[in-house]
Chain A
Amino acid sequence: MELMAVAAAREIKDREIVFAGTGLPMLGAMLAQHTHAPNCVIVFEAGAVDCKLAHLPMSVGDPRTMRFASTATGLFDVFSTVLQRGFIDVGFLGGAQVDAYGNINATCIGDYHCPKVRFPGSGGSGDIACLSKRTIIIAVHEKRRFPERVDYITSPGWIDGSDGRKRAGLPWGGPSAIITTLGVLRFNERTKRAYLASYHPGVTPEQVRENTGFELDVSRAKKTEPPTEAEIRILREKVDPEGIFLKKAQE
């Protein structure tokens, strides 16, 4: 969990405008603000823009996201004038399944009309996937969660690869990384298929391949740069001192 939060934070550059969701994205964005990206702007879909968080929110509409915010409106304003207008540099996404082209399923397993398992649905995730300039996906790395094709595309990644997004009519964007419990996947420039870019400490590339439901190229994989002591300390002491997400993960 801490490793993933650090990996998420490192994807954010200073001064970027970030769309963060509940959980790891918030940890990552807050850590980035406390370290290398003090001027990154965090936007929450429920309405708050550029707040200065003192307590970790448990919802993107949490009253905690109001603290010293620049503006606080609502979903319609943030989605249309910030996201659709093209101002989000990086959006974070999660989901139950992620496939070889970075498409995400947050809707259901099995047939849409009589699903075996139903999930909460898109929320803002489909919107963030369509209209952010780039997205970072965060997921638990298990074979069943990483199929060749997801059962339902809630949030489009590169769709069927290469210029799939352009053909669908999406103006820009696409996933740039998948941060998982085992490593970091990135996308082939031409085919837009995921490959293993790095594997976390204590994990081998072979293990990552075994836990992936699609054929994964591991030839370019390096070791993930481990978190620094300072990053871990800031995460525990400043970002989530209440242990809301970090402790929950350890249990």
Chain B
Amino acid sequence: MASEIESKIMNLREAAKLVPSGAHISLGGFTTQRHPMAFVHELIRQKKRNLHFYGHSPGGDLDMLIGAGCIRRVELAYEADEAFARIGPRFRCAVEKGSIEWEDYSNFGMVQRFAAGAMGIPFIPTRTMLGSDILKKEGFSKKTRSAKKIAKKKFKIINCPFTGDKVVLLPAIQTDVTIIHAQVVDAQGTVRIYGQNFGDEQQAKCAKKLIVTCEETVEPEVLREYPEHNIIPFFRVDAIVRAPYGAHPYACYRYYDYDPEFLGLYHKRARDDETFEEFLDEYVYGIKDWEEYLEKIGGDEKLRKLKADKKLGYAPKLKRR
């Protein structure tokens, strides 16, 4: 067992090598919470290309990947940082220019597709999206639909064989690689997430390969004392990366809050091509690793301000506007 334990823990650089260009990927988190940002930076630094991205409500994780030229196609429901920014600026720009391919679903639609993939069934019936243009307009071309690993149809509406009611069938998703950022992972790979898990459980369990970045690693006995609080069994996890503050500038419940100041900076600079390139140079390409990044964004002083109150799980005194 010991040798297996050792082999799963690696650094960001090694783990990012497990994601080849062209891979079908998904990232955990929800809008301004718990995205594996340290990993995203490493994907950009390693210049991954032609990634096919599945998400429900990504935020700056996907926006940065699009801006850095890593993404070819997206299937998602939403792309924004909610109250911080009403749309991902690089996503908007890429769609308006036609430089990526996109397919829209709803959040429920996308998490059901991940759930179907996680359960090993080919599709899932649902009652949502009926009457919407999501079920009238297809984003992907016929050519794209005929490509390997892509569902041959966006959806299918049928009459339920048991009740006769209209139902929508949605195709399952199984990603090549899913990357999530969790609070605690043990040395074998058992994962514990504090707070809402968003869609992480389904996104993780539908993956062929699962990479988990985390705030802390602990001994298996610690997590196995309360197995009912754990969400992913160790054998599903292929790689573990310790990345404290690895979701910055997004919130990680019980550990730290989102960073309004940095989100303001990002959204200002991501508005146009030139300033976004400067942003990447300054915060990604010109930076050696995540530790250097944390120094760059303000080091200990900044991290103290974001640190979560133990009881509340967020920073109640954080200046948010």
**Do A and B share a complex?**
yes
- Chain A residues in the interface with B (C-beta under 8 A): 22-23, 45-48, 54-55, 58-67, 72-76, 79-80, 83-84, 107-108, 112-127, 129-131, 152-156, 159, 164-165, 168-171, 242-245, 247-248
Check B82–A55 contact: CB distance below 8 A: no
Known: A124-B108, A127-B108. A169 touches B95 (CB 8 A): no
How far apart sit A164 and B82, CA to CA, in the bound complex (Å)?
31
Residues on A with C-beta less than 8 A from B167 are 169
How far apart sit A92 and B116, CA to CA, in the bound complex (Å)?
28
Nearest opposing residue in chain B for A57, CB measure? B83
- Size class of the contact patch on chain B: 35 or more
How far apart sit A131 and B133, CA to CA, in the bound complex (Å)?
16
Known: A61-B30, A76-B111, A165-B131. A113 touches B139 (CB 8 A): yes
- Chain B residues in the interface with A (C-beta under 8 A): 30-33, 56-57, 76-84, 86-88, 91-92, 95-96, 98, 104-109, 111-112, 114-115, 126-134, 136-137, 139, 157, 165-167, 195-202, 251, 253-254, 257-258, 308, 312-314, 316, 320-321
Check B131–A73 contact: CB distance below 8 A: no
Check A169–B108 contact: CB distance below 8 A: no
Task: From A47, A117, A170, A245, give the contact of B196 (CB < 8 A).
Answer: A47
How far apart sit A19 and B197, CA to CA, in the bound complex (Å)?
18
Residues on A with C-beta less than 8 A from B77 are 121-124, 126
Instruction: Determine the main DSSP class of B at the interface with A.
Output: loop
Instruction: Determine the main DSSP class of A at the interface with B.
Output: loop
Check A130–B130 contact: CB distance below 8 A: yes
How far apart sit A242 and B196, CA to CA, in the bound complex (Å)?
25
Residues on B with C-beta less than 8 A from A169 are 127, 130-131, 157, 165-167
Residues on A with C-beta less than 8 A from B95 are 108, 115, 118
Within the complex, the shortest CB–CB distance from A74 to chain B, in Å, comes to 4
Known: A58-B32, A61-B32, A170-B130. A124 touches B199 (CB 8 A): no
Check B198–A46 contact: CB distance below 8 A: yes
